[in-house]
Amino acid sequence: MHTHPNARLTALGRERLVRRHIDEHVPLAELACQAGISLRTAYKWLARFRSGGPAALVDRRSVRRTQRRTLDPQQLQQATALRHERCTMRRIAKALAAPLSTTQRWLKSMGLGRLKNLQPKEPVRRY
Q: Phi-psi bin for 55: left (phi > 0), alpha (psi -120 to 50), beta?
A: alpha
Model pLDDT, residue 1: 57
pTM: 0.52
Instruction: Indicate if the pLDDT at residue 35 is higher than 70.
Output: yes
Q: Which amino acid is at 8?
A: R
Q: pLDDT by residue (tens digit) across 100-125?
A: 999 999 999 989 988 888 887 888 88
Determine whether 20 is exposed, middle or buried from the number of CB atoms within 10 Å of its CB (0-12, 13-18, 19+). Answer: middle
What gap in Å lies between CA 72 and CA 41, rounded to an integer? 42
